[in-house]
Chain A
């Protein structure tokens, strides 16, 4: 075991939220250690080949894959001596004396005791229960993106997409770009969950979107050879006789994400189950500070949303973690502009669910 390291701020997770938090804290003058289990920073942005919507300040109209490079360049330019990335390093535990246990690949375990910690560990994909869901060929949508967009490998020849939220729609389009056939997108709800602009794009490309449909079963000997799907009535019950057999070799699950809050449970943060935000999420104030004053949160771990809002949350968490250490120059001014940005991103009908979830988290019903 190496000696105890004591950075001013430690950030767990180097995705959009963690990188933005680092930049924001470094700009205030704080010293930041950014810990990520992957060999490169960027989190899941590395496979997002589509252009982002939302706020221009948060890189709208830029492809996700191009964002980490910009953030890292800014970090290196503005705070090289203050910024210490710790890659290939998994955080394994958070103890109640505020000590983080981390393990770097092929090295040894290390203990880190930061003054402030920002947790930005993102989300995990949800699973859907159905017979055969463990067969090879049933993939999470993120895995399909990794294979196609990072490694340039086709996941299969013909795909059934389960879920018509933004991820299901976007990944379907990306499958077409990779030259893979998408047999259909099925969605249990009576209407498409994702943005109309994405839905229109895949429909125009000839992919049917079947709402009020679900998967009953995946079949195949050693891997997926097909799927049985069926229609659902208004009570989400299968309509007898509506089964349809689809010959596919890949079933891609895009059925939502849930925050990875394990470290927060270990730390003992207060959390609440808010389905609109993706599951259990930590209580937080407007500074993105949890019920434990030295712990801040940002990104999908705080609530399942888009990378744009994750980056703004990161900026807020980084700003206040630094400000609470005394690096409080122009805090009000920055906060005002970040909060407005967040409000704008969550305005309108697409943000209704998030607004409702956040209001329930803060005590409303």
Chain B
């Protein structure tokens, strides 16, 4: 789902990086956010509502809506739409509100 040709924009993609989402290996480009990379890989469900467990997806893309909070490298409630992807990131779907006290 990455755009190959565009009449105006020349997308200068960074060097390839790999990360995991749950147990799945996903390749991305440096400079992308985790949410953008997941979207490009076809992942549309990013979380679930707390009470009714309805699926939640990408929505605002600028860190406002909290629809994309995930567990990244052990830290909960990471806004993946504004977090750049890094080589070796371990990204996991977060169920519930997560533990907000950082583990030492």
| Cβ of A241 to closest chain B Cβ, rounded Å | 30
Residue among A140, A151, A222 with max Cβ neighbours from chain B (10 Å): A151
User: Contact between B3 and A148 (Cβ–Cβ < 8 Å)?
Assistant: yes
Report the contact-size class of chain A (Cβ under 8 Å from the partner): 20 to 34
Closest to B36 in A: A151
User: Contact between B54 and A223 (Cβ–Cβ < 8 Å)?
Assistant: no
Q: Is A154 interfacial (CB 8 A cutoff)?
A: yes
Chain B residues with Cβ below 8 Å from A152 are 2-3, 6, 9, 11, 13
Q: Is B40 interfacial (CB 8 A cutoff)?
A: yes
User: Contact between B8 and A177 (Cβ–Cβ < 8 Å)?
Assistant: yes
Q: Secondary structure at chain B's binding surface: helix, strand, loop or mixed? A: loop
User: Contact between B61 and A179 (Cβ–Cβ < 8 Å)?
Assistant: no
User: Once bound together, how far apart are the Cα atoms of A179 and B86, in whole Å?
Assistant: 28
Chain A residues with Cβ below 8 Å from B62 are 44, 142-143, 146
Chain A residues with Cβ below 8 Å from B11 are 151-152
User: Once bound together, how far apart are the Cα atoms of A348 and B79, in whole Å?
Assistant: 42
User: Contact between B9 and A149 (Cβ–Cβ < 8 Å)?
Assistant: yes
Q: Which of A49, A65, A147 contacts B61 (CB 8 A)?
A: A147
Q: Which of B40, B45, B60 contacts A222 (CB 8 A)?
A: B45
Q: A223 and B3 in contact (CB under 8 A), knowing A49-B8, A147-B36?
A: no
Q: Which of A37, A143, A223 contacts B55 (CB 8 A)?
A: A223
Q: A135 and B57 in contact (CB under 8 A), knowing A153-B36, A154-B3?
A: yes
Q: Which of A125, A134, A137, A154 contacts B1 (CB 8 A)?
A: A154
8 A Cβ contacts from A18-51 to B: 37-38, 44, 49
Closest to B47 in A: A136
| Cβ of A104 to closest chain B Cβ, rounded Å | 14
Number of A-B contacts (CB under 8 A): 89
User: Contact between A136 and B56 (Cβ–Cβ < 8 Å)?
Assistant: yes
8 A Cβ contacts from B1-57 to A: 1-3, 5-9, 11, 13, 32-33, 36, 39-40, 44-46, 49, 54-57
Chain B residues with Cβ below 8 Å from A135 are 54-55, 57
| Cβ of A35 to closest chain B Cβ, rounded Å | 15
Q: Is B73 interfacial (CB 8 A cutoff)?
A: no
Report the contact-size class of chain B (Cβ under 8 Å from the partner): 20 to 34
| Cβ of A132 to closest chain B Cβ, rounded Å | 10
Chain A residues with Cβ below 8 Å from B36 are 146-147, 150-151, 153
User: Contact between A153 and B55 (Cβ–Cβ < 8 Å)?
Assistant: no
Closest to B84 in A: A39
User: Once bound together, how far apart are the Cα atoms of A329 and B94, in whole Å?
Assistant: 56
User: Once bound together, how far apart are the Cα atoms of A142 and B64, in whole Å?
Assistant: 12
Q: Is A178 interfacial (CB 8 A cutoff)?
A: yes
8 A Cβ contacts from A107-148 to B: 124-125, 134-140, 142-143, 146-148
Q: Is A63 interfacial (CB 8 A cutoff)?
A: yes
Chain B residues with Cβ below 8 Å from A154 are 1-3
Q: A136 and B60 in contact (CB under 8 A), knowing A151-B33, A177-B8?
A: no
User: Contact between B57 and A37 (Cβ–Cβ < 8 Å)?
Assistant: no
User: Once bound together, how far apart are the Cα atoms of A258 and B33, in whole Å?
Assistant: 26
User: Once bound together, how far apart are the Cα atoms of A177 and B49, in whole Å?
Assistant: 34
User: Contact between B54 and A134 (Cβ–Cβ < 8 Å)?
Assistant: yes
User: Once bound together, how far apart are the Cα atoms of A155 and B44, in whole Å?
Assistant: 10
Chain A residues with Cβ below 8 Å from B58 are 136, 139, 143, 147
User: Once bound together, how far apart are the Cα atoms of A146 and B63, in whole Å?
Assistant: 12
Q: Which of B2, B49, B64 contacts A124 (CB 8 A)?
A: B64
Chain A residues with Cβ below 8 Å from B39 are 147, 153, 155
User: Once bound together, how far apart are the Cα atoms of A150 and B33, in whole Å?
Assistant: 10
8 A Cβ contacts from A287-341 to B: none
5 nearest A-B residue pairs (beta carbon): A136-B57, A152-B11, A143-B61, A146-B61, A151-B36
- B residues sitting closer than 8 Å to A (CB atoms) are 1-3, 5-9, 11, 13, 32-33, 36, 39-40, 44-46, 49, 54-64, 81-82
Instruction: Give 29 A-B contacts (CB < 8 Å), ordered by A residue.
Output: A49-B8, A65-B9, A125-B60, A135-B54, A135-B55, A135-B57, A136-B44, A136-B46, A136-B57, A137-B57, A138-B57, A138-B59, A140-B59, A143-B60, A146-B61, A147-B36, A147-B58, A148-B3, A150-B36, A152-B9, A152-B13, A153-B2, A153-B39, A155-B39, A178-B6, A179-B3, A179-B5, A222-B45, A223-B44
Further contacts, 12 of them, CB under 8 A, given A138-B59, A153-B3, A177-B6: A124-B64, A136-B44, A140-B61, A142-B60, A143-B59, A143-B62, A150-B36, A151-B32, A151-B36, A156-B1, A177-B8, A179-B5
